[in-house]
Amino acid sequence: MHQREKLQSCYQNLKTVKNYLHELNEIWNMIREMNECTKVHKFWSGLCRELQHDLWKEKLNPKISMLKKVIASVEILKI
């Protein structure tokens, strides 16, 4: 499968957040994705709906939040 297609079809589903992020990072490295906004949007939109909702409650926004902040918040929310 082409890497960009693989990226488009990559979602958390039943994966842990750690495994989902690992899969995304592997694909991003292969396609040399550097755009922070693109990464945040993909990571956020691929998370389970509950986590997406919780991120909004944390006053984060996929259009303006930094990836590190989103990841850190998700890790805290999963505790």
Domain ranges of the chain: 3-77
Q: Given this model, what pLDDT does residue 1 score?
A: 66
Residue indicated by tokens 């990841």: 71
Burial status of residue 14 (CB atoms within 10 A of its CB: 0-12, 13-18, 19 or more): exposed
Tell me the percentage of the chain whose pLDDT exceeds 70: 99
Structure confidence by residue, pLDDT tens digits, 46-62 = 999 999 999 999 999 99
Q: Given this model, what pLDDT does residue 79 score?
A: 72
Q: Global pTM?
A: 0.93
Residue indicated by tokens 């991003």: 28
Positions in the chain whose pLDDT score sits under 70: 1
